[in-house]
Amino acid sequence: SNRGSRGGRGRGRGVPAARAERFRTTRGGMLNTQPSRGRGDGADVSGQRQRGTQRAVRGGIPNSGEASKGSTYILLVRHGQSIWNAEGRWQGQADTPLSDLGAAQSALAALRLCHRGGALLGGSLPDLKAVYASDMLRANETANILATQADLGPVTCDNRLRERSVGEWSGLTYDEVQQQWPGYLKKRLLPPSYETDDLVLPRVFSALDAVRKDHPGEQVMIVCHAGIIYAVEAYLKAKDGKRNPHRRYRIGNLGCRWVVWDGKGFRLGKRVNLLGEGPMKKPPV
Annotation says 215 is catalytic: no
The order of strands in the sheet holding 255-261 is: 155-158, 128-134, 219-224, 72-78, 255-261, 266-273
Task: Please name the residues in contact with 273: beta carbons below 8 A apart, sequence gap of 6 or more.
Answer: 120, 252, 254, 255, 256, 279, 280
Catalytic: which of 21, 66, 79, 233? 79
In 211-265, where do the E strands start and end? 219-224, 255-261
Q: Alpha-carbon torsion 140, 143, 149, 152, what sign?
A: negative
CB 187 within 8 A of CB 115: no
Catalytic: which of 141, 163, 195, 233? 163
Annotation says 79 is catalytic: yes
User: What single letter denotes the amino acid at residue 162?
Assistant: R
Q: Is 59 left (phi over 0), alpha (psi -120 to 50) or beta?
A: left
Active-site positions read 79, 163
